[in-house]
Amino acid sequence: MGLYFDPPLVPRCRQHLTQYHRAHSRECWAGAQAVEFPQMKDVPSELIGPFPCQFCERKLPTVQALEQHQSVAHKKRLEEIKMGQILGETLAQNLGSFPAPSAQRPKMRKRKKATSKAK
């Protein structure tokens, strides 16, 4: 799966590796063409990958494969993200339900007049 991300090249010699053609030479690879996948022509573009993992450099061919990979390989990090999202949503909801605090003028205490005793 995922060969269409980086399709393999077909050598121009069009020969299989046999006892008579043991390896492809430079001439075989000159002008090599990428393999085409005609069955991918009718697939909607939003379903065609690659779908990169947000935690590692792995690229996966489908959304389902990406979700499965992340739920297994990055389970702890996904749980932390979901917890943060839940906390953020809860805080946003609760902050909107309280009236905004208003500044109140502090109450001033009345000072007693100092009495001086003359001697």
∠ Cα 25 31 36 (to 5°): 110
8 closest CA partner among 26, 33, 29, 30: 33
- pLDDT tens for residues 20-53? 989 999 999 998 988 888 888 888 878 887 889 9
- pLDDT tens for residues 55-71? 898 888 888 989 999 99
Share of the chain above pLDDT 70, in %: 82
Radius of gyration of the chain (CA): 35
Would you say residue 119 has pLDDT above 60?
A: no
Interatomic CA distance for residues 70 and 12, integer angstroms: 40
pTM for the predicted model, two decimal places: 0.50
Q: Do the Cβ atoms of 9 and 32 come closer than 8 Å? A: yes
